[in-house]
Amino acid sequence: MEIGTYGKIRYVTLANGSVRAKARFRGFDGVVRDIGRTGATATKAERALKSAINQELRTPSGGDITARSRFREVAKLWLAWQERRVESGERASGTLDNYRSMLNNHVLPAFGELRLSEVTVPRLDRFFPALQAKSSAAHARTARSVVGGILRYAARHGAITTNPIRDIEPIAGGTMRKARALTPDERREWLSQLELDPKAVAKDLPDLTRFMLATGVRIGEALALYWEDVDLDAARVSIKYTVVRVRGAGLRRKKPKTDAGVRTLPLPSWAVEMLRRRYAMAKAENRSGASPVFPDSLGGLRDPSNTRRALREARGSDGFAWVTSHVFRKTAGTVMDEAKLSARQIADHLGHAKPSMTQDVYMGRGTVSAENAAALEDLL
């Protein structure tokens, strides 16, 4: 007898003419029990018995989620919880969009109508390899995160006693390629190529590239920079936000995922000169202060996805086909590493997570090191 099921219903007619329906059922704790209910007729007794079994199979918490709940219903509750986490700043809105897309396109078509008790290890074991073969290992891993999150949500609410995702083998394959840094010759050639491309110039890619090389910031952080965050006299910029697209609200500046993402960065002199020139133009156009340093054509926030697409178009198919916005970040980190700066200094500059507990405890965090700017001085 499978967990959460009952056996054949038997009927006994009592002396007063009523009927008692009896059956054995196996609860989610694995224990087999007998249960019976009485009714005026066999049909009424059976209905009462089935209702009693359903009640017995409800979770000890008495919540709305039970092992008989549809996966689709629990997924909806889990997604609403994720939306609340985005609103509170615990989760990035881009992550939520990825989860929603994965749910609608792959997970719900496969599991939506199943009850939680029916989402078993064999079913999961068939689903993830099939999804990987159809799309990619990265897609399969995202799907695993989504399904695992929903089942963990159900387990926390007492609907299931164990999460079957734990028994699924790790999804192998599709290892992400390491980002490659631009060499000195490649840096000069890349910028020359951009300057000679009218479309790249119109989309402000040369100066954006220079800024990202000078600071090693993420593309969303560069596009979230306002003039009020720039101190040209001190040759510093304050990185406080990143640009994200919020579903139903458009582009917004949001705080970084971690405290390490909020940082003050020194600038090499050539980056200061580039920003001084841009500031003079922005001031002439009444765009100084609370406005983006790298705006869109209307002076507002610029979409990181569209900017990445513009970079892909500018790089062409030969020579620089491997270049992405992350390459500029990798290049800045490589230059600082070659200058013998410590891992702590580089991690603070790039806004990375902690290199190690030892460094976190015994070395200072978030310091503004002039050595970083000095290392980047001759980058171009």
The mean pLDDT value for 147-166 works out to 88
CA distance 359 to 338: 20
pLDDT of residue 197 exceeding 80, the answer is yes
The mean pLDDT value for 165-183 works out to 76
DSSP 8-state code for residue 165 = G
pLDDT of residue 58: 58
> Residue 122 is part of which domain span?
71-167
Residues 144-154 as b or e (16 or more Cβ within 10 Å = b)? bebbbbbbebb
Q: Which of 224-238, 239-253, 292-306 has the lowest mean pLDDT?
A: 239-253
Crossing angle of the two packed helices 205-215 and 325-338, in degrees rounded to 10: 40
Is the residue at 219 inside a domain? yes
pLDDT of residue 73: 93
Nearest to 346 by CA among 329, 362, 361: 329
Q: What pTM was estimated for this model as a whole?
A: 0.62
358 vs 153, more confident: 153
The mean pLDDT value for 253-264 works out to 84
Q: Which of 239-248, 266-275, 366-375 has the lowest mean pLDDT?
A: 366-375
User: Same domain, yes or no, for 365 and 283?
Assistant: yes
What does each C-alpha distance from 124 to 31, 165, 168, 172 come to in angstroms?
A: 25, 8, 7, 15
Nearest to 330 by CA among 224, 179, 197, 215: 179
Nearest to 264 by CA among 321, 330, 200, 217: 217
Rounded to the nearest 10 degrees, how much is the dihedral formed by the CA atoms of 37, 42, 47, 52?
Answer: 10
Is the residue at 279 inside a domain? yes
Q: Please state the φ and ψ torsions of residue 37, each to the nearest 5 degrees.
A: -140, 150
CB–CB of 237/264 below 8 Å? yes
| Among 118, 137, 167, residue at a domain's last position | 167
User: Same domain, yes or no, for 298 and 220?
Assistant: yes
Under the banding of pLDDT at 50, 70 and 90, the label for residue 353 is: low
Is the residue at 179 inside a domain? no
User: Same domain, yes or no, for 149 and 285?
Assistant: no
The mean pLDDT value for 1-15 works out to 88
How many domains, the chain?
Answer: 3
pLDDT tens-digit map of 58-95: 544 445 788 888 999 999 999 998 888 877 767 777 78
